Amino acid sequence: MLRTLLERPVASTRSLQRALCISASCSFSSTTRRANEPVGPVVTPSPPQTQKIRTRKASKPIATAVVHAGPLPENKILSRVREIEQQQTTTITLEEVERCRPPDRSLKTTSPKYKQAYLQVIKPLLKSFGKGQLLQILGLYNIERPSPTVPKQHIAGLILKSWDWPAVDEEKRERNYRKALRLTPNEAFFVMTDTENIVSSARRENVLLDYSRESLSLQVKGPKNAVQNIIVAIKELSKEIIYEPISFPFKTQFSDSSLEDISRSSGAFIQRTNDIQLQISFKKASPQSAWSAKQALVRLGYMNATDSREPFFYLSSTNTQDGSYVLLPSVSRQIALAGKDELPTYRLTRVDGTCSAPPPMDAVKDWESSIVNLREWVQDITTGSKESALPRVDVIPGVRLVSGDHAFHPSAFPQDGTNLSKAVEALRSEKSTFHPCVPVGVFDLRSTSNQYFQRLTYSTIPSGSIATSRPVETSFIDFVVASDMNETSLLGRQTPALASGACEVESADGKKIYGHCSQGVRRTVDVVLPDSPIDVRLVVSKSNPQPTPEPLRNYLQEIINRSTEPAHVEPPLYMWVEDQVFVLTSFANVRGGMKEIKCGSSDAPTLTKVFTEISLNNELGYPESICRMMCALDQTEESWQRFLEESNSLLTIASKPATALRPETFDKFQQEEDSEFQELVGNPSEAHRKRENNEFEELIEL
């Protein structure tokens, strides 16, 4: 068989191998079959019923032509690499690119036709240039290259965006761009109150600012460029925040609402670090806000620590035919503080009957106080045996208005003095405030001499309890700063003791400034007069000149040192004098005036000095007009009668132009009086900004 195959023409090597394999297989099969045959007698098996013999047919060899090896087809990846290399070596010019530039866009991106127009203008770029060429074009237009994995259409979209043809989906993303920032409460406070920069920019660019206290995050949503600019401004603002702890020389507590009110009014953020300590945050460019916040905190803490109740007053009228008067408490001290009214208020109500028959007090037993004679209460004020000055009463006319419906209304107290229960309930429920003013009937500020000065008032926390014979007294220190304090000056005529014992500080160039310190006790009561267009505030005080404490001397020296610099000098918030802590409760720049009015009967009139003050409260930042008449009292009946006559004359003159004190004209009248103060402080809205530059400009001029 092998010989036969060899004699046949060879078609291919594969046919020869197949033939050899078949020959070897056949030889092996026959040898195996002979080896397995038995050696003994052969037993012939019975033939099967049906037996089908299968034979294997040999496959015929397939004649194939010999294929000679040739070059393989080129890979697509290699073709793409050569194409990219060729594109990189090809230089693209701006002229070639500008041929594909579309005309200026006339459609708005929000138009329904904009999408179709965008697809038409992007086609020339995609057909004319490859991906590598488009990347080169980005460099020609100074456009930042994206990642190499981005699709070709995105690269063409960047080129169209530089031609003011933004992509449709990108325009939507840029219009509704959203960014969340983690902000602390103090950072969020300054962001939301920055009306001159961040808030105004957000409103102008239609950017929404939404702060969540729960997550401490600020959501900024709007146009992408505007959002990014605002985020940059917020981060810059956060770098300008300064933190400062504050402590108090007395035990006090603050409510969360009071801290929020002080933060909004001062512009500095106040937060609790623990149960007993507070922290003030303020911007580096406005340290005055931190000072205002500190002053308000110390003042409010002092008021909370001095919570006390005042007694009832029983006042005998000078004319027995007019009957008697009873002063009822309007609100408790705590309610008054919640209503932002610093002082207890009383209603002067006429009571039928004789002076010796006081009205029943069954309806007000919960006050646990007895009727006190007003004259005894006024004359009983004292500071100890070392004080020799007589008590002084300042009568301040004004009007008590009730706030409601975003407007002020006159107080409507009951006139029935016999029904004390209804009267007390009505007085307690009223939320009214006393507005001191300078009535036109007293005098015109333009026709009187005036003087500028600064007044600081420090008060102590009183100790003791309410008693009929000895009410609670609060010690105070008044410190007046002026450039002139002689006997002929307004301050010298107002308080002769100021001319003696003043502290003098002189600068290197010869400028002088004076400070006078007096210490004593003071009580204040507001009285609502029946059947009168105005009310009155009585301030009873007794004080003597005292040496200037060291902290106030340093304050004067600092004023002189900064007389040539537009810087604000901060007085001490509190100081220790003779083992007592005195807290700054009032700090104001004042323009004062004086005029003499006729009091008493027409046959024998007496001249009484009436002083006016238009003061800029450095804590609140707005001017306030005050008219005061000062009367010295002793233990004689003549002194008391003179006080009543002079007070009555002042109130009678003040009540003549009653229309000027009505609610509908009160604001206009106050604006006219405030306009007299424009030379010193400007309008109330600008006073806070100007105060830092010209705080003591008028005080240090010779």
Distance CA 566, CA 542 (A): 37
Model pLDDT for residues 178-193, shown as the tens digit of each residue: 888 888 888 888 888 8
Residue in 608, 583, 579 with CA at minimum distance from that of residue 596? 608
Q: How far is it, in rounded angstroms, from Cα 637 to Cα 655?
A: 27
Q: Give the whole-angstrom CA distance, residue 399 versus residue 435.
A: 5
- Between helix 131-140 and helix 152-162 the angle, nearest 10°, is 30
Which contiguous run of DSSP H or E holds residue 120?
helix 114-128
Burial class of 156 by CB neighbour count within 10 A (0 to 12, 13 to 18, 19+): buried
Which range of 89-98, 413-422, 522-531, 611-620 scores highest in mean pLDDT? It is 89-98
What is the mean predicted confidence (pLDDT) over 323-331?
46
pLDDT band at 111; cut points 50, 70, 90: confident
Cα 364 to Cα 424: distance, rounded to the nearest angstrom: 8
How do strand 371-373 and strand 312-316 relate by DSSP bridges? parallel
> Is residue 540's pLDDT more than 80?
yes
pLDDT at 340 over 70: no
- d(CA 662, CA 682) in angstroms, rounded, equals 26
Give mean pLDDT, residues 271-283. 83
Reading the block at residue 82, the tokens are: 């050569």
Q: Which residue has the higher pLDDT, 472 or 607?
A: 607
Q: Which tops the pLDDT comparison, 218 or 304? A: 218
| Number of C-beta neighbours around residue 15 at 10 A | 18
Whole-angstrom distance, CA of residue 560 vs CA of residue 553: 11
β pairing state of 177-182 and 345-351: unpaired
- Asked if residue 322 has pLDDT above 60, the reply is no
Average pLDDT, the chain: 68
Q: Which of 89-98, 329-338, 580-589 has the highest mean pLDDT?
A: 580-589
Nearest C-alpha neighbor of 518 from the set 415, 432, 389 = 389
Residues in the chain: 702
Q: HSE, CB side, 13 Å, CA atoms: give it for residue 241.
A: 23
One-character DSSP codes across 352-374:
SS-TTSPPP-GGGGGG---EEEH
Give the residue from 509, 501, 350, 345 showing the smallest Cα distance to 431: 345
Question: Is the confidence at residue 355, as pLDDT, over 70?
Answer: no
Residue pLDDT, tens place only, 35-80? 444 544 554 555 555 555 555 655 655 555 555 555 666 677 777 6
HEC letters along 277-321:
CEEEEEECCCHHHHHHHHHHHHHHHHHHHCCCCCCEEEEECCCHH
User: Crossing angle for the helix pair 168-175 and 224-239, nearest 10 degrees?
Assistant: 40
Q: Would you say residue 672 has pLDDT above 70? A: no
More confident residue, 435 or 445: 435
SS (H, E, C) 407-448: EEEECCCCCCCCCHHHHHHHHHHCCEEEEECCCCCCCCHHHC
How confident is the model at residue 552, as a pLDDT?
92
Sign of CA dihedral 543, 547, 553, 556: positive
What is each CA distance from 660 to 406, 408, 433, 581, 650, in whole angstroms?
20, 14, 18, 42, 16
Residue ranges and CATH numbers for the domains of the chain are: 84-171 (no CATH), 176-239 (3.30.1370.10), 241-305 (3.30.1370.10), 312-691 (no CATH)
Task: For residue 587, give the nearest of 621, 554, 556 by alpha carbon.
Answer: 621
Q: Of 48-62, 166-180, 285-299, 311-325, which gets the smallest average pLDDT?
A: 311-325
Q: For the segment 442-488, what is each residue's pLDDT rounded down to a tens digit?
A: 655 455 667 888 889 998 876 543 333 344 567 889 999 888 887 77
Burial class (CB in 10 A: 0-12, 13-18, 19+), 321: exposed
What mean pLDDT do residues 198-221 have? 82
Q: What's the pLDDT score for residue 123?
A: 85
Buried b (16+ CB within 10 A) or exposed e, 545-583: bbebbebbeebbeebbeebeeebbbbbbbbbebeeebbb
**Which of 235, 336, 410, 318 shows the shortest CA–CA distance to 637?**
318
pLDDT of residue 473: 63
Q: What is the DSSP secondary-structure string of 189-223?
A: HHHHH-TTTHHHHHHHTT-EEEEETTTTEEEEEE-
The answer to whether 442 touches 595, Cβ cutoff 8 Å, is yes
Stretch 251-255: mean pLDDT: 79
- Give the SS3 label for residue 640: helix
Examine the pLDDT at 160 and tell me if it is beyond 70.
yes
Whether the predicted pLDDT of 335 surpasses 50: no
